[in-house]
Structure 1
Amino acid sequence: MIKSNMLDGKVVIVTGASSGIGRAIAIRAAEHGAKAVIVSDVVETPREGGEPTASEIRKLGAQSVFVKADVSRKADNDELVATAEQFGGVDVMFANAGITLKTDGPEVPEEDYRRLMSVNLDGPLFGAQAAARQMKALGKQGSIVLMASMGGISGAGITVAYSTSKGGVVVMAKSLADALGPAGIRVNAVAPGTIDTELLRTSPGIAQASEGFRQRTPLLRLGKPSEVGDAVAFLGSDLSSYVSGTALLVDGGLLSVI
């Protein structure tokens, strides 16, 4: 796997990083040279786990700690970002944490809808607010990356709430890019397509749907979590110094032909 110095010396925070795509993003940040990676999740042990992820990052030569945080709570985001001060302050904030619903669609239950929006929309906003305040206070021209989805660019009837939340993230990135740009802070979103994760492999319904997506994808394969990590590393690095307010699709070309 290709490694680089794209994030050399940078302090990175990744929410929802105990498993899945978030874990891969946190590990790839270290492999791309990050000085420190703060691993955060609402609980310590979903699947691989927060502390094991931090330990894996330390083996790669970067500093790392696990911080428990509920991103739907503003205070938790503030406390999470404050932990970056011990490493010199956050340079790259990746608001990755998000949830899906077992029951979505046009009749999505109100309670489920509210819960999803609190994580998928409130979380990125509160995380971006906290990161931007610290960056401004320290005079850092940092990068904030929000987790969107191809479902936030092209909706689907079976994911009404999820797609709405991710569409909001795309517009949030554009709006924050305008608001924070004068301070030298860039804000972008990354929008993955069908990524080969443990959830996909162990969920028969999702696996069946993903096979159809795979067949229609120009690259004729599913994406790897590490490839999302590479996209985030690029958006967090100085190589993307004039990129702000965009939603970078990481979908193998699927939405270009669907």
Structure 2
Amino acid sequence: MSDLLAGKTIVITGASSGIGRAIALTAAKHGAKAVIVSDITETPREGGEPTTKAIAALSLGTLTKFQHADVSSPDDNDKLIAAAEEFGGVDIMMCNAGISLSADGADVSAADFQRLMAINVNGTLFGAQAAARQMKKLGKKGSIILMASMGGLAGAAVTLAYSTSKGGIVQMARSLADAYGPDGIRVNAIAPGSIDTELLRATPGVASVTEGFRLRTPLRRVGQPDEIANVVVFLGSDLASYITGVILPVDGGLLAVI
């Protein structure tokens, strides 16, 4: 499709399924030299072939590797980024891994809340830190992209824990942009709206309000994973060389209207 990511190595957490899988495939189509797919398991949540095999089937010559990682573990994040060394080191870090809860809301249990925060917030920070350490060691002016959500910009009763975690990602992106900017490392976040993934359908509270969101969205539809992936390509490319600290809603205009 293009050479926007030519010569770049991208690491994507949560890349077996959904948005992460779309990002991995789209990065390959835009010329990424290497794509490292990271997740708890290689098997997509939707079923089907692993992401690395799907990339290989494109016959683009993109180097691929699957690296198991529990993002809530700092050691696993360090091992994940170390896996990029054989490809010249990470240029683009996409901290995409995250979960939602089947029983979210004001009465969320302590155990569920802590589990969600460990993955969504701690895991994002640990991944960004590990990537930045390698980028600085190798002198790379890289791009770190965090996955926020429109739920991090506007709250909802049915997503109390999820929205709290994604609100943390919003401020994390801004703060890390300030911290890593002197090294030439850019940090931005994407805030998707309702995106057609298995995760959305499997989360009862969110699924129950999706049709209402669609009707209020100026474009009158939910988004597709590829539409988030395209934004990642832009933010990871040199076209975005002076963009950092930005939280970019990709929500069909939902947050722009009352």
TM-score normalised per structure 1:
0.95
Higher mean C-alpha deviation, range 150-159 or range 200-209: 200-209
Aligned match of 2:220: 220
Q: How does 1:112-131 map to 2 (within 5 A)?
A: 112-131=112-131
Contact in 1 for aligned 2:45/2:198 (Cα 8 Å): no
Is the CA contact 1:96–1:147 (under 8 Å) kept in the aligned structure 2? yes
Match of 1:8 in 2: 6
> 3-state DSSP class of the match of 2:50?
helix
* C-alpha distance in 1 between matches for 2:154 and 2:121: 17
User: What SS is found at the alignment partner of 2:83?
Assistant: helix
Any runs of at least 4 consecutive aligned residues in structure 1 with deviations exceeding 3 A, and if so which?
A: 48-51, 199-208
Once the two structures are TM-superposed, the CA of residue 199 in structure 1 deviates from its matched residue by 3.6
Whether the 8 Å contact between 1:41 and 1:50 is mirrored in structure 2 is no
Which amino acid in structure 1 is aligned with residue 67 of structure 2? V
Match of 1:25 among 17, 23, 30: 23
Is 1:74 matched with 2:74? Answer: yes
Determine if contact 1:145/1:188 at 8 Å carries over to the other structure: yes
CA deviations on 1:97-147 (whole Å, 9 max, x unpaired) are 000011111121000011000000001100001000100111100000000
Q: How much does 1:208 deviate? A: 4.0
Number of the residue aligned with 2:139: 139
- Secondary structure, aligned partner of 1:107: coil
In 2, Cα distance between the equivalents of 1:194 and 1:181?
A: 31
Describe the shift of the 1:204–1:173 C-alpha distance in structure 2 as closer, same or farther (beyond 3 A). Answer: closer
**Structure 2 match to 1:239:** 239
Letter in 2 for 1:66: F
Moved more, 194-203 or 63-72: 194-203
Q: How far has the Cα of 1:9 moved from its partner?
A: 1.1
The residue type equivalent to 2:188 in the other structure is N
Q: CA RMSD in A?
A: 1.6
Gaps of 5+ in 2: none
- Unpaired segments ≥5 residues, structure 1: none
Q: Give the structure 1 partner of residue 45 of structure 2.
A: 47
**Counterpart Cα distance in 1 of 2:190 and 2:239:** 16
- TM-score w.r.t. structure 2 length? 0.95
Structure 1 pair 51–184 and aligned structure 2 pair: CA distance change class (3 A): farther
Whole-angstrom CA distance in 1 between matches of 2:125 and 2:69: 15
Of 175-184 and 195-204, deviating more is 195-204
Q: Which deviations, in whole Å up to 9, do the C-alpha atoms of 1:30-72 show, x marking residues without a partner?
A: 1111110000001222425797201111233211011100000
Mean Cα displacement is larger for which, 93-102 or 42-51? 42-51
Structure 1 CA distance for aligned equivalents of residues 49 and 129 of structure 2:
26
Q: How far apart, CA to CA, are the structure 2 residues paired with 1:158 and 1:198? A: 18
Report the CA distance shift for 1:167/1:50 in structure 2 as closer, same or farther (over 3 A). farther
> Quick check: 1:152–1:168 contact (8 Å CA) kept in 2?
yes
Q: Secondary structure at the match of 1:140?
A: coil
1:51–1:65 contact (8 Å) kept in structure 2: no
Instruction: Verify the 8 A CA contact 2:102 2:205 in the aligned structure 1.
Output: no
Look up the match of 1:105. Answer: 105
SS of aligned partner of 1:9: coil
**Structure 2 residue matching 1:230: 3-state secondary structure:** helix
Q: 2:181: which partner in 1? A: 181
For residues 157 and 221 of structure 1, the distance between their equivalents in structure 2, rounded to whole angstroms, comes to 22
**Superposition deviation, residue 212 in structure 1:** 1.1
TM-aligned CA distance change 1:165 to 1:205, over 3 Å: closer
Among 54, 59, 62, the alignment partner of 2:57 is: 59
Match of 2:191 in 1: 191
Partner of 2:223, secondary structure, is: coil
Map of 2:229 onto structure 1: 229
